[in-house]
Amino acid sequence: MLSINGGEIIVLLLIAVIVIGPERLPEYSRQLRSWIVKGRDMLSDGRATLEREVGGDVDWEKLDPRQYDPRTIVREALYEPASKPAPAARPAASTPLAAGTPAPFDTEAT
């Protein structure tokens, strides 16, 4: 998600301590903790509401929006085994025109 490794977190924390200062750091850490607790409570309330309204027997695989990704659709279509094409129907044998008769012409064809 953020792709921050452990060393980068330590550097960011050291910069925060230097910029914020030791006087205001406890206040900001309490505020961060309260935001995290509020976010966790909101998430658990949302899950409980969803469970109560939808129920426990929902097939989440069927409702996954990632199944409508065009790349996934094309990938699945390309990996499907090829089916045998239906045999082509042979055109009916036409009778030759008599000498001097004009060829048939379709006015709607052009």
Residue type for position 14: L
Distance between CA atoms of residues 38 and 32, nearest Å: 10
Distance between CA atoms of residues 71 and 74, nearest Å: 5
Distance between CA atoms of residues 11 and 6, nearest Å: 9
Rounded to 5 degrees, φ, ψ at 77 are -70, -35
Q: By CB neighbour count within 10 A (0-12 exposed, 13-18 middle, 19+ buried), where does 20 fall?
A: middle
Distance between CA atoms of residues 19 and 71, nearest Å: 45
Kindly report the length of the chain: 110
> Per-residue pLDDT for the chain (110 aa), expressed as one digit of tens each?
568 888 998 998 889 888 888 888 889 889 999 999 999 999 999 988 988 888 777 777 887 887 788 888 888 888 867 677 777 777 677 778 888 888 878 788 76
What pTM value is reported for the model?
A: 0.43
Taking alpha carbons only, the member of 45, 23, 42, 22 closest to residue 34 is 42
Q: How far is CA 94 from CA 22, 97, 108, in A?
A: 98, 9, 21
